[in-house]
Each structure stands twice: as C-alpha cells, then as structure tokens.
Structure 1
Amino acid sequence: MADTETDRHRLGMATRRAVLGDAHVDRAVANMTEFDEPFQSLITEAAWGHVWSRPNFTKRERSIVTIALLAALGQDEEVAMHVRATANTGASREDVREALLHVAIYAGVPAANHAIKIARRVYNEVDAARTSEEEK
C-alpha cells in the first residue's frame, strides 16, 4: 500500500480475512504487484471496509446477496470463492440454493444452472477435504 494504511483499509482487511479466511487473503497479498496494488487497496477499502463492514446486513445476508449477484453476472471464479466463504459467513447450503433459485427467475436459468454446477463442485471439494482430514 502507498504511504499510510487508513482505518477503512484496516477495517476492510479484517472483514476480508473474516469472510474469505487468512489463507486466501495471504495468497492475494503475496501475489500483489505494483500494477494491481491500487486495485487491491480499492476493493479492501470499498468492498470490504465500506460495504461488507456495514452493520445493516449480517455477513450471512451479504454472502447470500453477493453469491446471487455474482451468479447473475456470470462471475464464475468469484461465485466459487464466495461459496467457499460461506463456511465463515454462516450462509448455509440451503441459503445458497435459495439464492440461486432467485437467480434462475430474475437473471435466467442458464446463469443459475452454471452457478449451481460451480456450487456443487465447491461443496464436493469441501466435503472431500473434510473427509480426508477426518481419516487422518
């Protein structure tokens, strides 16, 4: 980051870590370059510090809304990332399913169908990792 870290940036980073997890954020920070640093600062302050940190919605509610919006927009990688983040936000698989049913009606069946495939893949990966950990 440039010269000083703002309070909004610190709040955003804390919220980003709470939602996405330390490992994800640590990878993003480690992979940051001079080119994309302004973008990373922008999303940390604006998305995470301004929007996700607001008290009006719970993290669960923001998670559901975010997944629906990303699915409607066809943002596959972001859908997968936010479905993974539901482990930290409290949004259940049923919440995600309901959000994607809304996407089908309001944004189109193809968008919802694709997002459902992404969510299923993510949940299968999560379940496989959990099973692998339990077997150790």
Structure 2
Amino acid sequence: MAENGKNERYEKGMLTRRQVLGDSYVDRAVANTTPFDTDFQTFITEGAWGSLWSRPHFSKRERSIVTLALLAALGHEEEFAMHVNATQNTGATAQDILEALMHVAVYAGVPSANSAIKIAKRELQKLGVQK
C-alpha cells in the first residue's frame, strides 16, 4: 500500500495519467471528484491508467492512436477531444490522427470519422498544430 492509502496500481496509474493527460487536466479531475464519483475515479486510474496504459508492449504514441480510433468510432466526442489534446504528451502527430481516422471511416463509418475530423481540426488548431 502506498503512503496515502492508495495501492501501487493506483500510484502507477496516476503517474501514467499525468504523463498522458498532463498535470493541469488531472489536477482539475481530482479537484472535481466528489463522494459520488470517487470510486469511479479510482477505478479508471487503476484500470485504464495503472493496468492498460502502463503495459509495456505499445508505446504511449501507439496507445494514443488506438484510443483515438476507438473513441472516434464509438462517437465519444468529449473523450476524443481530450485525447487529441493528450497527443502533445504521447508523441502522436496530426498525421497519426488523420491516419487513424481514415481507418475509422472504412471500418466504422464515414459519419464517425467526419465528426472526429472536425473535432481534431478544432483541437489541433487550439494547440497551434494546425491552421
């Protein structure tokens, strides 16, 4: 057990979450946690970040590309935008995002890819990566 009462998977997950999403994003998420969603925040920190994103086989760039494709295919626009912003920390490029969305268009449908491309363009423009 880690010193703050959280387990090692949680601590590893929080480190990875901060590496991918950035300290300011994670600090806001932690500050906005209430008793209602404490268990959920612990679950995603341990499961998504401490287990999945911390696995060694894929690089953070590769996980980022896979995650973007899945979120776009499923139409999870808010999470997709968040992960476009995370590419600044994962090393995935604008070209990587476009290639992932081309796959989404073929395998999950043009409307899903079209929506995601609009979001990616908006977020990349905010980041100063695209005009």
**What TM-score does the superposition give when structure 2 sets the normalisation length?**
0.94
- C-alpha separation between the residues in 1 aligned to 2:64 and 2:70? 10
SS state of the match for residue 127, structure 1? Answer: coil
Structure 1 residue runs of 5 or longer lacking an equivalent are 129-136
**Alpha-carbon distance in structure 2 between the residues aligned to 1:127 and 1:57:** 27
Q: CA deviation at 1:35?
A: 0.3
Distance 1:42 1:94 in 2: 32
Structure 2 residue runs without a partner (length 5+): none
Alignment root-mean-square deviation, CA? 1.1
- Between the two proteins, the alignment pairs up a number of residues equal to 126
1:124 is displaced (CA, Å) by: 1.0
| Equivalences for residues 19-30 of structure 1 within 5 A | 19-30=20-31
Equivalent-residue separation in structure 2 for 1:22 and 1:81 (angstroms): 13
Segments of 4+ moved more than 6 angstroms = none
2:77 is aligned to: 76
Report the Cα distance in structure 1 between the residues aligned to 2:67 and 2:7, rounded to whole angstroms.
25
Query: Percent of aligned pairs with the same residue?
Result: 63
- Give the TM-score, by structure 1 length: 0.91
* Higher helix proportion: 1
